[in-house]
Amino acid sequence: MAQLSASRLRVLHVLRLKGVAEVPSVAVAAGVDDSDAQAVVADLQGEGLVERREGALAGWAPTALGRKHDDVEVAEELAAAGGRAALAGVYEQFLARNPELLAVCAAWQLRPPARPPADRGPSPPAPPVANDHTDPAYDADVTARLADIHRRVQPVLEVLSTTLDRFAPYRARLAHALARVQAGEGDWFTRPVIDSYHNVWFELHQDLLQTLGLQRGSEGGGPTGP
């Protein structure tokens, strides 16, 4: 049975992963109601664990004390669940999919250049060009590759959500992003400022690293940040 996570841990940990976020975004990622997320944020602010930031990137952010508190709560949760072995095992499976996700995101953003006319003779390979999304067949192929990665990562998501229930929202978030891409809304593939497939995947990767106490780059790389 999954180890149940308190809303408090979920909200603080989501803010730790996102860095800065508004309550509606936190609620979706944490799998709690907006009103619950708002109440938890208010409590965390009162304890000095989160603070409000304004400016170009406005929202709630964990304080230094909040980050330390999150480290302790995440470690205690994992120990209480007895889930380290299970998470470590599926993390290796996740890493096997990670380069594929990076490649398909790159293919969505860049595409091979048009071939020169045959009468010009051989020429050195040209670098990829920005994908202007004017070739429906190309975009459909890349989208199909994303759907295949999504299908093959489902066993990882299943083990994660049944080990620690705070991982459960990733399944719905990834499925939602894929559905939007398949519906022709290409921003949901890699756009930084929304819950795009790349962004949710990136958060999941960071979540696994923090939960297992690992450092990014020590485990074979991963998608670049938004």
Residue intervals of the chain classified under CATH 1.10.10.10 are 1-81
The whole-number pLDDT of residue 223 equals: 39
CA dist 226 and 81 (Å) reads 31
SS3 59: strand
Question: What 3-state class would DSSP assign to 182?
Answer: helix
Q: Is pLDDT above 90 for 216?
A: no
Q: What is the pLDDT of residue 107?
A: 97
Rounded Cα gap, residues 206 and 61, in angstroms: 16
Tell me the CA end-to-end span of the chain in Å, nearest whole number: 34
Q: In angstroms, rounded to a whole number, what is the distance separating the alpha carbons of residues 77 and 74?
A: 5
C-alpha torsion angle, residues 77, 151, 147, 179 (rounded to 10): -60
What rounded mean pLDDT belongs to the chain?
Answer: 91
Structure confidence by residue, pLDDT tens digits, 166-204: 999 999 999 999 999 999 999 999 999 899 999 999 999
Q: What pLDDT digit, counting tens, does each position of 88-116 carry?
A: 999 999 999 999 999 999 999 999 887 65
Nearest to residue 79, comparing CAs of 209, 212, 226, 216? 212
Options 1.10.730.10, 2.60.200.20, 3.40.50.720, 1.10.10.10; CATH for 1-81 is: 1.10.10.10
What is the SS3 string spanning 105-159? HHHHHEECCCCCCHHHCCCCCCCCEECCCCCHHHHHHHHHHHHHHHHHHHHHHHH
